[in-house]
Structure 1
Amino acid sequence: MSEVLTELVSRDARGEEIITGTEDIERWTAWTRLDYDAFLDGLAMELATRYDKGRLPFGTCDEIVNWFYAHHTATLDTALPEVILDVFGAFDEGEYYHGGDASEDPEKAYTRPMIKEVLARGDTRKFSSAPEQ
């Protein structure tokens, strides 16, 4: 999963489209041997871990999870898997001033603690490989 996230971050740093379409997702799920939901949750955990350790900035993380959220909701008629939905929610809460209070840093007040909660639950999550065919 680390390599996939590194590829996404590199694309973002070069100003390229983060994900060009479903071909990327198909390639990554085949490469990681994870089904789509497990791939999304595994990617979300890797992103949250790097963000929490200060290795990825808010903007990059926000852009990546926003793309997956938008892609998923536009192309699939299913709910997002739990972990990526929680990570998306954490970054979404950091995008704006709550109650119009510009003196509060929404990233610090909302995103960081929500990401810590996701990571605290992370040890019970399993991102198992799809069965071999």
Structure 2
Amino acid sequence: MTILPSHILNTLLERTKQGQTPCFTPQDWQAWAGQTFAQDAWNAVALILARKFLSGEVTFEQADWIINDFWLLVHTGRVEVDTQAYAQPWAEVFFAFDAGEYHHKPDKSDDPVRDRTIPMLKKVLAGAA
């Protein structure tokens, strides 16, 4: 059985609504591995997440939570993955949400989500079209 990227994302979104931390676990990785953890599938999850955020279906907090949980699993060595396998556009989506986590101006007069995340996601999506 193939698990669709939209199903994975919907599962993770439901967990964020319930406050489940982490929303993405090594057990999920094992359950979904081999079926969907290929480059194309993770790029699809990231692009769907970006679209849902830009359309207002997903909050910044939910999107950031999901993308960070995946990043932490990979970069803390809790799961094994070829980091090149999800390099683009997945990483671009990660960095777009990461840029929205903090102010970039010393006086905090900027809106990091409006000024950074949204334009970066629009650029990623335009390149993926």
TM-score with structure 2 length normalisation? 0.83
The structure whose residues are more often helix, as a share, is 1
* Cα gap change, 1:26 to 1:37, in 2 (>3 Å): farther
Aligned-residue offset at 1:19? 1.5
Matched, 1:58 2:63: no
Matched, 1:11 2:15: yes
Return the alpha-carbon distance in structure 1 between the equivalents of residues 120 and 107 of structure 2. 19
Work out whether residues 97 and 104 of structure 1, in 8 Å CA contact, stay in contact via their aligned partners in 2. yes
Work out whether residues 65 and 88 of structure 1, in 8 Å CA contact, stay in contact via their aligned partners in 2. yes
Given the alignment, which residue of 92, 97, 104 partners 2:98? 92
Structure 2: which 5+ runs fail to align? none
Return the alpha-carbon distance in structure 1 between the equivalents of residues 25 and 102 of structure 2. 27
TM-score with structure 1 length normalisation? 0.81
Aligned-residue offset at 1:84? 1.3
Equivalent in the alignment of 1:116 = 122
Return the alpha-carbon distance in structure 1 between the equivalents of residues 125 and 56 of structure 2. 14
Q: Answer 1 or 2: higher relative contact order, Cα 8 Å, separation at least 6.
A: 1
Return the alpha-carbon distance in structure 2 between the equivalents of residues 78 and 87 of structure 1. 15
Given the alignment, which residue of 74, 77, 81 partners 2:76? 74
Q: Identity over aligned residues, as a percent? A: 32
> 1:1-58 deviations in whole A, cap 9, x for unaligned?
222111101111111130231x31233345xx43432222111011011011111000
Structure 1: which 5+ runs fail to align? 124-133
Query: Number of residues paired by the alignment?
Result: 120
Equivalent in the alignment of 1:20 = 25
